[in-house]
Chains A and B, each alone.
Chain A
Amino acid sequence: MPVEIWLHFILGFMIIGAIAALEIKDVLSAIIAVGIVGLGLSVAFLFLQAPDLALVQFVFEILCMIILIRAFTHRKEHKIDLKSNVVLVAIAVVILSVVFVLGIFAFKELPSFGKPIARIAERYLTKGPQETGSANIVTSIILDYRAYDTLGEITVLFTSILGAFTILRVIGRKQRR
């Protein structure tokens, strides 16, 4: 079967998982339904010839589910039975469907699936192995051509982990005195 049919199947699966994650009452079931979306995305990356991304997405999804399950499922007193405002839901559905219809016109202007523009990538693909010495061209972009981008990524990641650690620390400054 061609790639497009597999991708349609996986994307439909992901959409069903996303809707289920947003509508299920139970917290653990909702988090696992998001896991469906993430692992489906990992399979989609494999079909789209991005093996590095599939591995990273897989690890990310498992870590994300561990964090969310550890953080939210042990609170027995919490039940999701919150009803959303009906007027708000109606307004949101109308606006989002208008955005979807406008999106149809916008996506017509893009190059069709399977024919990328790839203007910058031609240089990376032809000269990358000689200039960087790396067989994996994605790695040569991350660590050589766009190394400052990766430095910024590490900075953002470090800052967010530092923020989470600061928020979650047990002993505040007042209690220590």
Chain B
Amino acid sequence: MTLYLMTFFLFLVGLYGATTKRDIIKIILAIGIMGYSVNLFLILIAYRSGAIYPILTKSLGKELMVDPLPQALVLTAIVIELGITALLASLAIRIFEKYKTFDITQVRRLKG
């Protein structure tokens, strides 16, 4: 329960950064933090106490194993996050070249 709440607090820290910061770099970092907390939450609800990783070893299937399904899905999500970060960084670079600033309140003009 407290682990879930701490993960949720980490998500809210990221949400706070994404909503209140004016710097594009800080917004990208905040979005990354939100992604981390969601991944951690999915793995937390998959954990089973006293279980081992879901890989078959010599003692075939005797031990309990943790839930492998969220692990597979989070593996997908982590890779997609890398694509998101690269795309956001390239957009920020182009915005900086056009407007000479990372301040989102200065990015107002529609220049073609």
Q: Which A residues contact B (CB, under 8 angstroms)? A: 3-4, 7-8, 11-12, 14-15, 18-19, 21-22, 27, 30-31, 34, 37-38, 41, 44-45, 48-53, 56-57, 60, 63-64, 67-68, 71-72, 75, 77-78, 80, 82-85, 88-89, 92-93, 96, 99-100, 103-104, 107-108, 110-116, 118, 120-121, 124-126, 128-129, 135-138, 141-142, 146, 149-150, 153, 156-157, 159-161, 163-164, 167-168
Contacts and interface: CB of A to CB of B under 8 A. Distances in A.
B86 to A, nearest CB: 5
Nearest to B22: A82
B70 to A, nearest CB: 9
A137 B68 contact: yes
A136 B53 CA distance: 9
B44 interface: yes
A167 B94 contact: yes
Interface of B: 1-10, 12-17, 19-23, 25-26, 28-30, 32-33, 36, 39-40, 43-49, 51-56, 61, 65-69, 71-76, 78-87, 89-94, 96, 100-103
A38 B82 CA distance: 12
A170 B110 CA distance: 21
A135 B56 contact: yes
Contacts, number: 251
Contacts of B82: 60, 63-64, 157
Nearest to A124: B68
A147 to B, nearest CB: 11
A29 to B, nearest CB: 11
**For chain B, what secondary structure do more than half of its interface residues adopt (helix, strand, loop), or is it mixed?**
helix
A8 B83 contact: no
26 contacts: A11-B10, A18-B10, A18-B33, A22-B33, A41-B36, A48-B46, A50-B71, A50-B74, A51-B53, A67-B85, A80-B25, A85-B20, A96-B16, A99-B12, A103-B5, A107-B4, A107-B5, A113-B47, A116-B48, A120-B69, A124-B69, A125-B68, A138-B75, A153-B80, A156-B80, A156-B83
A interface SS class: helix
Contacts of B8: 100, 103, 107
A51 B57 CA distance: 14
A14 B10 contact: yes
A96 B15 contact: yes
B81 A60 contact: yes
A108 B1 contact: yes
Nearest to A19: B13
Contacts of A164: 83, 86-87, 89-90
